[in-house]
Every structure is written in structure tokens, then in C-alpha cells.
């Protein structure tokens, strides 16, 4: 419901720590996405929370039965008048802001992608909004109070002996930017406060930890708090580690674990001739993980796949794998999370055959079944040190090139293409003609 799920180990550490605290009030400044409140829900504490952001304050006020107090700005009415019917000063407004965090940054911006994002929200607004309202209404968070207040002044009011549990900003500045798109289109009784400087962050930490019971966490290691380190959590292989510090609790180190299942299918090997017809078969998550760990470049961090498919040749030998997920913003698009060919084989360009299989009419059918929607296009991202991806060149269209946000690569390349324009049989024919000549150890 709220942004981001809480990694299980994080929830456990917070609960375990809090279970040693006296019953009664617990204070949660900088409560953000209510991660802490969600973690200790049902433990019987009276939770008093505060924050300064528009988003958190909307949720916090709604959870404590206060009017949310947020309206569409007059100057945004032309562009966003279609949201007006959803703003009810209660859960409807909260749901609107929640959905707003996903598309408002695209409002008024030029470019096909931004236009598509806004259009898709506008067209599906009724359903998306109703669904969010329903999910919000099922929330099990109970707050004793919520206040819109700066952490520096709020902490001074908190009783000296009461537990404080907070994930505050660990660097000065930064959070104000996060909700800029919401602030740009909505008006409210925003608090006046000076953004936290780096020195303020240190004194806030001091005020949190200067008491008998406290817990705090950051995505940076804080040397001063080292003696209090209670756990290091990596929620997913891509995620940055999260350091949890607390006054009393046991120490934990938690790293992600992927289920691995053996894949017994024979693989195409050097010296094997690839024969038709191609066929596709579904892989279980553990099998996909096993193959991905074996063949995918270790510099590429894995993501979770909704649909993982093995490509086999006529001899039943595995040629490669592709994994797809429904695209978040584009209704009829499938996103290729990964695609790779087995190796070593005699075919230098085997990976192009996997791309062709992934965009075939048969793959389209599998996607449509798995995602329960019509799929006409594919998109994918390639990380590369070259300005184009040799694998996708000639098969998909390079839509955008930007500097890589992943270490170890120069470029991040966005590719798009049609899906279902050829069958598997045509894919093999096309590939065999252009790229399918085998190389041998002596020949080319
Ligand atoms: C690291 S986030 C906490 C969110 C955390 N991930 C969670 O969901 O529990 C930091 C929060 O501090 C809030 N914040 C930033 N400056 C603040 C200030 N001066 N006073 C109170 N809260 C502040 C931000 O709005 C943001 O919600």
C-alpha cells in the first residue's frame, strides 16, 4: 500500500528491538513512509508520529482522523482538473497523492514517454484510484497522534525516557526535492522550517540516541554509532545495504538469498549443430536463477522476473533464456528483464536468436497469458560500454542513450520494438540467414 515494501529482516529487527521496550508511547519523528509504524503494528504501542512532507502529512492526518487539508492548486486546474472529483479531504486525497508520486513529475513535460505516462494515468484513473482507496482502507496502522512538525523542535517535546524510533535523513537537504511534483500541484498549510544541514543531522541523531531506548537506521554506515550496529540488511541484490542501530537488541547480518533449482535440460555445446524447430518452455523461478547465475554477466544485477522462458532447439537443447515483466506505464508493452544465450557454442550471434524468440508471436502469447493483457511491444535496457548494443542492433530500435547509473558500464541504452511480427520458425530462418553460420576453432 505505502511506497516500498519493508524487507522482512528489517521488520524483524525493529520488532525484536521494540519488544524489549516498555509498553506505552513510542515516538517516531521523520516517519516518511511509516515503515516503523508498519513494522511495530499490533505490538500495543501508542505511536506518535511526525514529519514535514506533504505526502507523509496527508497519510498521517488521515490515519488520525484529521482533515487532510490539501487542495489542487488553482494554476493546476487546467491540466489536472480531472483529479478534482477524487479529492475528498480524506482517503480519496491520500490515494490521489500516492498515485501522484508516480506520474505528476511527468505532467507538463515534453516527450513521448512523459505524455504516455500521464495519459495512461488519466485513462485508468477511476480504477487505479478506487483500488488505492480500497487498499488504504485495509491498513492496519494505528497512530495515537500525527503532527506536522520539524524534527528539531518536535524531539524537544518528547519525554526523556520514552523510546524514539526513527529513520531520519542522514545527510542535509535532499528530501524537499522528493515531493516537489506534489508541492507543485497541491497547496496545503505547509510547515515553515529550515532544511536540515549536515550539522543538524548530527544533532538530530544525538537527540534520538541520547535516551534509554532508541532505534535508527541509515543507508550509510555511521562510524560514531558502530558500537550500536544491530544489523546490516540488503533487501535485494540491487539494493544498497541498510544499517540498523539500536540501544539494545541482538546483532544480525542479512543478505538476500535466491532459490536455486537444477535445470536438467541439455545445453547446446561447442561442436553441436543447432537444428529447428525452436520451442519455448516456461522456467520455474529457481531454474531461471540457476541459469542466470551461470550465463549472465555478473556485472548485471538480477531483478525478479514474472515470466521466465527457455528457448530450446529441435534436439531439445537449451539455447538461452528470456525473462519478461509487464511494463509499468505502457499497457501493451512487455519489458525484457534479461535475455541471454548459453555459452560456449559454435554460434557467435546466438544471443540474437534469443532476442528474436523473445519477440516472436509465440512469446507474445505467453506474455499475454501471464500478464492478462494484450501485448504488442517490447522494451528493454542494455548496459554497455559501447554506444550501441551489438545484441539488439538490427532487431530493436535504440530509443534513448544516457550515461549508465550502474557501476562498470558507460551507457544505459533503452531499446524498443514490436512483438509478435514473426513466428519462431521465421525467427530461426531470419537468424540462420544473417547470423547463423557456425564458427569453428580453426575457421571464422
Ligand atoms: C529517511 S526518510 C524516512 C522514511 C523512512 N524510509 C520510512 O519510510 O520510515 C526521512 C524523512 O524525514 C523527513 N524530514 C526531512 N527533513 C525533516 C525535518 N526537518 N523535520 C522532520 N522531518 C523531516 C522527510 O520528509 C522524510 O519523510
Distance 201 CA to ligand 1 centre (A): 11
Rounded to an integer, what distance in angstroms lies between the CA atom of residue 87 and that of residue 81?
11
Cα(215) to ligand 1 centroid in Å equals: 15
Categorise residue 157: left if φ over 0, alpha if ψ from -120 to 50, beta otherwise.
alpha
391 SS3 class: coil
Torsion angles phi and psi, residue 237, rounded to 5: -60, -30
- Counting atoms of ligand 1 from 1, which one is nearest the CA of 170? 1
What's the Rg (C-alpha) of the chain? 26
Atom 13 (ligand 1): residue with closest C-alpha? 30
Residue 146, Cβ density class (10 Å: 0-12 exposed, 13-18 middle, ≥19 buried)? buried
Ligand 1 centre from 185 Cα, in Å?
21
- Local structure of residue 420 (DSSP, 8 states): S
From the CB of 33, is ligand 1 less than 6 Å away? Answer: yes
Q: Which atom of ligand 1 is nearest to the CA of 36?
A: 9
Atom of ligand 1 nearest to the CA of 193: 19
Residue located nearest, by CA, to atom 26 of ligand 1: 32
Q: Ligand 1 mean position to 301 CA, how many Å?
A: 28
| 182 CA → ligand 1 middle, Å | 16
Task: Give residue 169 CA to ligand 1 midpoint distance, Å.
Answer: 6
Model pLDDT, residue 217: 86
pLDDT tens, N- to C-terminus, the chain (444 residues)? 555 556 777 788 888 889 889 889 999 999 998 989 998 988 889 999 999 999 999 999 999 999 999 999 999 999 999 999 999 999 999 999 999 999 999 999 999 999 999 999 999 999 999 999 999 988 888 899 999 999 999 999 999 889 999 988 876 656 777 889 999 999 999 999 988 887 888 888 889 998 889 999 887 777 778 888 888 887 777 777 888 899 865 556 665 556 677 788 899 999 999 999 999 999 988 888 888 877 776 555 555 667 999 999 999 999 999 999 888 778 899 999 889 999 999 999 999 999 999 999 999 999 999 988 899 999 998 888 999 999 999 999 999 898 876 667 888 899 999 999 999 999 999 999 999 998 854 333
The dihedral over CA atoms of 244, 32, 44, 68, expressed in degrees to the nearest 10, equals 180
CA-CA-CA-CA torsion sign (60, 62, 64, 66):
positive
Q: How much distance in Å is there from the Cα of 433 to the middle of ligand 1?
A: 58
If we measure between CA atoms, which residue out of 314, 356, 353, 342 comes closest to residue 437? 353
C-alpha dihedral (311, 313, 315, 320), degrees to nearest 10: -40
What spacing in Å lies between the alpha carbon of 216 and ligand 1's midpoint?
12
- The residue nearest atom 14 of ligand 1, judged by CA position, is 30
Grid cell listed for 169: 535523513
In short, whether 378's Cβ falls inside 6 Å of ligand 1 is no
Residues 232 and 3: beta-carbon distance below 8 Å: no
Q: What does residue 383 show for φ and ψ, rounded to 5 degrees?
A: -100, 130
Are residues 56 and 33 in contact, defined by beta-carbon separation less than 8 angstroms? yes
With a 6 A CB cut-off, is 56 part of the ligand 1 pocket?
Answer: yes
* CB 37 near ligand 1, within 6 Å: no
Which residue minimizes the CA distance to atom 9 of ligand 1?
35
Looking at residue 348, what is its pLDDT? Answer: 93
Amino acid at each position: 500500500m505505502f511506497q516500498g515494501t519493508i524487507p522482512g529482516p528489517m521488520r524483524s529487527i525493529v520488532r525484536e528491538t521494540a519488544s524489549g521496550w516498555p509498553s506505552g508511547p513510542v515516538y517516531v519523528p521523520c516517519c516518511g513512509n511509516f515503515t516503523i509504524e508498519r513494522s511495530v503494528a499490533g505490538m500495543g504501542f501508542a505511536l506518535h508520529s511526525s514529519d514535514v512532507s506533504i505526502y507523509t502529512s496527508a497519510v498521517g492526518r488521515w490515519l488520525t482522523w484529521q482533515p487532510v487539508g490539501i487542495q489542487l492548486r488553482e494554476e493546476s486546474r487546467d491540466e489536472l482538473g480531472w483529479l478534482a472529483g477524487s479529492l475528498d479531504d480524506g482517503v480519496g486525497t491520500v490515494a490521489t497523492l500516492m498515485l501522484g508520486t508516480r506520474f505528476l513529475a511527468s505532467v507538463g513535460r515534453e516527450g513521448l514517454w512523459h505524455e504516455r505516462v500521464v495519459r495512461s494515468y488519466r485513462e485508468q484513473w477511476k480504477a487505479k484510484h478506487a483500488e488505492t482507496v480500497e487498499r488504504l482502507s485495509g491498513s492496519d496502522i494505528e497512530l495515537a497522534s500525527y503532527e506536522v512538525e520539524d524534527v528539531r523542535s518536535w524531539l524537544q517535546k518528547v519525554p526523556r525516557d520514552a523510546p524514539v524510533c526513527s529513520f531520519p535523513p542522514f545527510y542535509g537537504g535532499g528530501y524537499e526535492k522528493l515531493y516537489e511534483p506534489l508541492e507543485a500541484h497541491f497547496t496545503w498549510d505547509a510547515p515553515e522550517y529550515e532544511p536540515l544541514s549536515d550539522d543538524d543531522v548530527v544533532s538530530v541523531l544525538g537527540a534520538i540516541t541520547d535516551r534509554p531506548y532508541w532505534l535508527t537506521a541509515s543507508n550509510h554506515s555511521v562510524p560514531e554509532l558502530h558500537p550500536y550496529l544491530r544489523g546490516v540488511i540488503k533487501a535485494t541484490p540491487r539494493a544498497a545495504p541498510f544499517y540498523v542501530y539500536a540501544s539494545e537488541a541482538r546483532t544480525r547480518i542479512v543478505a538476500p538469498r535466491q532459490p536455486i533449482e537444477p535445470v536438467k535440460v541439455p545445453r547446446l555445446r561447442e561442436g553441436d549443430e543447432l537444428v529447428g524447430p525452436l520451442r519455448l518452455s516456461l522456467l520455474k523461478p529457481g531454474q531461471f536463477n540457476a541459469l542466470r547465475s551461470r550465463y549472465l554477466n555478473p556485472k548485471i544485477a538480477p531483478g525478479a522476473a514474472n515470466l521466465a522462458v527457455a528457448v530450446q532447439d529441435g534436439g531439445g537443447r537449451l539455447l538461452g533464456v528470456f525473462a519478461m515483466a509487464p511494463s509499468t506505464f505502457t499497457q501493451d508493452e512487455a519489458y525484457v528483464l534479461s535475455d541471454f544465450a548459453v555459452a560456449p557454442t559454435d554460434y557467435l550471434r546466438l544471443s540474437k536468436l534469443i532476442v528474436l524468440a523473445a519477440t516472436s508471436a509465440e512469446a507474445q502469447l505467453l506474455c499475454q497469458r501471464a500478464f492478462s493483457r494484450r501485448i504488442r511491444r517490447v522494451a528493454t535496457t542494455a548496459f554497455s560500454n559501447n554506444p550501441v548494443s551489438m545484441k539488439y542492433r538490427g532487431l530493436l530500435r535504440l530509443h534513448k542513450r544516457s550515461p549508465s547509473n550502474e557501476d562498470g558500464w558507460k551507457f544505459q541504452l533503452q531499446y524498443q520494438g514490436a512483438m509478435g511480427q514473426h513466428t519462431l520458425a521465421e525467427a530461426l530462418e531470419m537468424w540462420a540467414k544473417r547470423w547463423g553460420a557456425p564458427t569453428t576453432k580453426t575457421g571464422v
